[in-house]
Amino acid sequence: MRKGVLILFIASLLLITSVIAKTTIVHWMHHSPSRAMIIMEMASEFMKENPDVEIKVQTIPYSEYKTKLLAALAAGSGPDVAQIPATAMEEFFGYGLVQPITASVATAEEMREKCIDAAIDKLIIGGQLYGFPTDVQTIVLFYNPYLFEQAGLDPDSPPQTWTELLEYAKKLTVWEGNKMIQSGLGIEGYEPVIESFMRQAGATFLVSDEEMKVVYEDAQLEGLKFLTDAVLEHKVYVPEFGSRWTGFRQIKEAMVFGHGAMVGSFQVGGHPDLVFRTALPPAHPETENRSSVLTSWALVLMSDCRTPEIASEWLA
């Protein structure tokens, strides 16, 4: 009897040990339904391939994400891996909040061969790779060919210059008395869109080494003025019209700038009759520059992560 009890006791200890030995990786990211679904599927596959690993994915609304992440890190209760803006990498590094991706999983040299410079430059510090690029997107122009045809415009010829963009937007804007019922171009002050126009005009955003201040340029004002004039003077969009994304989905807005990832949002959550196409941003009429600002996030290992190799493999 005692022998049987001893065997059961040892078996229990072995079971407890196996549970304790399981590696848990807590993964934080900002939320969207489609993204969450894909990440959950990837986590499930990874755990099947690595039965001794558990991936705990926590999605947080974008509006709350940065605040919650910084608060959790300050309290010492943050995740093992997380999504952070690529532009914040140097700051996170400076505060000792991140650690390098394990070199046996990926190196800076390998990632430079796979990625364009703009997507990876901020993620390499001191020759070491500190994150994988994700959500790498540029600004594109979405337009509705059906509304183009109604306005007498060729749906196969989206605007090629700022001048054409404004001309098209005016023709595509419809008013009933003092009420806008169709906007020609949705403009709500999204920073990457504004910066794209500024850079097309020639803005460099250089910083004065002596005063460590941003040097303000005429090109910055030119890009901003074009967009504000479109709203205030030409009235191709008014704030009262509502969200630019909602208007485009409801086929009440002919053109809107945004990231390519909005294709999925339009297809899944859009109006059933919505038809749209994409085009490059129109060029500056004089510089002929079509610059489009790139935005990017990074998947990183937090400094408190105790299993960097398996966490690196998960992020990869």
Rounded distance, CA 36 to CA 42, Å?
A: 10
Residue 1 lies in a domain: no
Instruction: Quote the tokens at residue 70.
Output: 């910084």
Do residues 180 and 290 share a domain? yes
Output the pLDDT for position 205: 86
Eight-state DSSP code of residue 240: G
Averaged pLDDT score across all residues of the chain: 90
Residue 147 lies in a domain: yes
Do residues 95 and 213 share a domain? no
Do residues 128 and 142 share a domain? no
DSSP letters spanning 11-58: HHHHHHHHHHHSEEEEEEEE--HHHHHHHHHHHHHHHHH-TTEEEEEE
Do residues 290 and 310 share a domain? no
Do residues 107 and 190 share a domain? no
Do residues 263 and 158 share a domain? yes
Please tell me the total count of domains within the chain: 2
Query: CATH number, domain at 269?
Result: 3.40.190.10
Do residues 249 and 311 share a domain? no
Rounded distance, CA 191 to CA 200, Å?
A: 14
Q: What is the 3-state secondary structure (H, E, C) of 110-174?
A: HHHHHCCHHHHHHHEECCEECCEEEEEEEEEEEECHHHHHHCCCCCCCCCCEHHHHHHHHHHHCE
171 falls in which pLDDT band (50, 70, 90)? very high
Do residues 84 and 183 share a domain? no
Question: 115: domain range?
Answer: 23-136+296-315
- pTM, entire model: 0.79
147 falls in which pLDDT band (50, 70, 90)? very high
Residue 18 lies in a domain: no
Residue 212 lies in a domain: yes
Do residues 114 and 247 share a domain? no
pLDDT higher than threshold 70 for residue 137: yes
Residue 290 lies in a domain: yes
pLDDT above 90 covers what percent of the chain? 74
- Tell me the per-residue pLDDT of 219-264, one tens digit each, with 9 for 90 and over: 999 999 999 999 999 999 998 888 888 899 999 999 999 998 888 7
Residue 13 lies in a domain: no
